[in-house]
Amino acid sequence: MDTHVSTDSPASSREKWQRRAAWAAIWYLRLAAALNLLGAFSAPFRRQVTRHNTGELFTPYLLTAGFTSAALAWFLAIMMRRRKRAAWIFNIVLSGAYLLLVVLLMAVAPEVREHTFNWVSAAFSIFFVTSLLVGRREFHAKGDRSNPLLALATLIVGGAVGMLIGTGLVTLTNTASGSTLWDRMNYALMRVYTLAPAGSEHVGVEIPHWVDIAINVLSVLLFLLVLYALFRSPKGKEYLCDEDEKQLRELLDRHGERDSLGYFALRRDKSVVFSPSGKAAVAYRVVGGVSLASGDPIGDIEAWPGAIERWQEQAQVHAWTPAVMGASEEGGTVYARHGLNALELGDEAIVEVDEFTLEGRAMRGVRQAHKRVGRAGYTVRIRRHAEIPEAEMDALLQLADHWRDGQTERGFSMALGRLGDPADGQCVMLECHDGEGQLRAVLSFVPWGREGLSLDLMRRDRDSDNGLMEFMVIELIRQADTVGVKRISLNFAMFRAVFERGGRLGAGPVLRLWREVLIFFSRWWQIESLYRANAKYRPIWEPRYLLFERSSDLPRIGIASARAEGFITAPSLPALFKRRHVPVAVATAVAAPITEELPQAPSPAEGPTRTGATPPSE
């Protein structure tokens, strides 16, 4: 008996038509946005659209000439592209009401029916409404429940502000006589709250064209703010709870050796989704509508697909853009099987303790730096965090915070974001003292399974000798047996291959140009210095990847990643007035030897990221 099942079943055919209808609605909005923008720049085309949208004529849904209508149509197309249910409801209500009005007018007014253009406009509007109805199941992404109230408040408050500014501009530039304050307010109100094109006639108001443009810009900003408030995705603020953290730690105990970044999943500003079996998990944070996962999934590799699928389903439900920062080749391969594309970001520097040596010409610089710092009397103490008494940990926290000097904390995928937490007792602290017993630098590493460490925090006194970080790393390698370490993950070198290959003989012009661009930006972001600082240890380079769905999402993912890592910070009033330096009492206290008791810190200072840390070469 033939058991072959046809793929052209009624259900699959229906889903195919639903997808096509959804795309038809999206492209209608994109085309309307393009035509509206053309009308905003082209006066002849704008006059034609205006003429066909007055009196007995009407244009298709949302087709008016102007910046506001162009921005509205384009924004709606973006929201519909993200399959947001609120955008579908907005369009079906607005276009349905518009179509109903058109049908009524054509039914009761013969002069309206006589115009062929009106029939064409009605056909386009019917096409759009039909596409929305047929493709309704494609728009399933949820929004935040507070969005309608926030959008209404934005519309009222923003409209009032725009009307006041517009009224002021009209009052200052109006050359017509006989207009009242209400006439000017009414003009500004209509221009801000409606899609009326620039240059609309209004009795008693004659103003320069630039004023119309200025009010139009206010109108565009208002509509964009209202639409953003109405369609914004949920923020995803369900951070790790105690039960989540406990379950993650159990997975790390069993499978922590697989990924050097696994322990960073315990950042408490991340969320987590587990596989159905609970044997794997994906840690992520929602930033600007991007569900940004970090590293490989945690847990049993056989259960990774279940966790990845749940993470993707969650992103789809909430209209989040899925992306992964810093996945290994193994993790990236599994993510790629679930429809994500890979882009190599750079390489992680890993040192195998048993294979490391200071011998040879290539290690001459590191060997000399280590001897020079050692002769100056510096020593390194290595302890697990749990072995550090509370009073000493408080002193370390104050010193680390003092050396940070108020700079923005950086890190997401390769930093823990905290220091001295009692739950992180297995982390390893390196304390470097000078010949007088003063603490001059600290390094903190998180566990990488049972026999590895991964760099988390780097802080040093800027007045200390150069080569201090190299000295501490070498001492950790030499004393690795004291903490049972066989492999160490150091800094991440972004675009390492470009620096390495671009400087070789025979490198192509594109590669050389790309290398020069990265060197230029290294003046601000330590791209090249981190590569060179780690290359001197002759490490094993492990590539790390960025995973994404569509290339068009890369700018948005790049901004979200920069925000998560701390390279872009949103301005806030408290931050503007925040003191950048520690109090004088603390600054004086930290100059004392570490054996002296320092005042207890009010709260643990967060550690910096390895991506934003001072490179070992400093």
Percentage above 70 pLDDT, the chain: 85
Q: How confident is the model at residue 378 (pLDDT cuts 50, 70, 90)?
A: very high
pLDDT at 581: 37
Task: Give pLDDT tens digits for 91-131.
Answer: 999 999 999 988 888 888 888 888 888 888 889 999 999 99
| 428: DSSP letter | E
- Report the distance separating Cα 399 and Cα 419, nearest Å: 12
pLDDT at 505: 65
Q: Is a pLDDT exceeding 50 seen at residue 583?
A: no
- Report the distance separating Cα 505 and Cα 503, nearest Å: 7
Q: What is the mean pLDDT of residues 404-428?
A: 78
pLDDT at 129: 93
Give me the amino acid identity at 579.
R
pLDDT at 586: 39
Task: Give pLDDT tens digits for 478-515.
Answer: 999 888 999 999 878 877 777 777 776 677 787 788 77
Q: Tokens 């988390």 correspond to what residue?
A: 456
Q: How confident is the model at residue 261 (pLDDT cuts 50, 70, 90)?
A: very high
Percentage above 90 pLDDT, the chain: 31
pLDDT at 312: 94
In order, the DSSP letters of 94-163 are HHHHHHHHHHHHHHH-HHHHT-HHHHHHHHHHHHHHHHHHHTGGG--B---TTHHHHHHHHHHHHHHHHH
- Report the distance separating Cα 400 and Cα 460, nearest Å: 8
Q: What is the mean pLDDT of residues 530-552?
A: 87
Read off the pTM: 0.72
Q: Rounded mean pLDDT of the chain?
A: 81
pLDDT at 613: 44
616 CB-near residues (< 8 Å, 6+ apart): 458, 469, 470, 473, 490, 491, 533, 534, 536
Q: For 361-365, 384-388, 518-522, 561-565, which range has the lowest pLDDT when averaged over its residues? A: 518-522
Q: What is the mean pLDDT of residues 187-204?
A: 65
pLDDT at 84: 85
Q: What is the mean pLDDT of residues 21-27?
A: 93
- Report the distance separating Cα 172 and Cα 204, nearest Å: 14
Task: Give pLDDT tens digits for 276-299.
Answer: 999 999 999 988 889 999 999 999
Task: Give pLDDT tens digits for 434-480.
Answer: 888 899 999 999 999 999 999 998 888 888 888 888 899 999 999 99
**Tokens representing 266?**
């315990």
pLDDT at 606: 38
Q: Is a pLDDT exceeding 80 seen at residue 255?
A: yes
Domains and their CATH numbers in the chain? 13-135 (no CATH), 146-231 (1.10.287)
Q: Phi and psi dihedrals of 91, rounded to 5?
A: -70, -40
Question: Do residues 117 and 51 make contact, with C-beta atoms less than 8 angstroms apart?
Answer: no
Q: Is a pLDDT exceeding 80 seen at residue 574?
A: no
Task: Give pLDDT tens digits for 28-49.
Answer: 999 999 998 888 888 788 787 7
pLDDT at 612: 42
CB atoms within 10 A of CB 31: 15
Distances, alpha carbon 548 to alpha carbons 293, 312, 324, 333, in Å: 11, 11, 7, 12
- Report the distance separating Cα 67 and Cα 73, nearest Å: 10
**Tokens representing 177?**
């006589």
Higher local confidence (pLDDT), 143 or 313: 313
Beta bridge partners of 545: 327, 344
Higher local confidence (pLDDT), 42 or 341: 341
Residue whose C-alpha is closest to residue 604's, from 432, 381, 390, 407? 390
pLDDT at 224: 80
Alpha helices in 465-538 (DSSP H): 468-478, 496-502, 509-525, 527-535
Q: Which H or E element spans position 421?
A: none
Residue whose C-alpha is closest to residue 126's, from 159, 98, 160, 150? 98
Q: How many helices (H) and strands (E) does the chain have?
A: 21, 12
Alpha helices in 174-303 (DSSP H): 181-193, 209-231, 242-255
CB atoms within 10 A of CB 215: 25
Higher local confidence (pLDDT), 302 or 496: 302
pLDDT at 382: 94
Question: Do residues 103 and 122 make contact, with C-beta atoms less than 8 angstroms apart?
Answer: yes
pLDDT at 614: 41
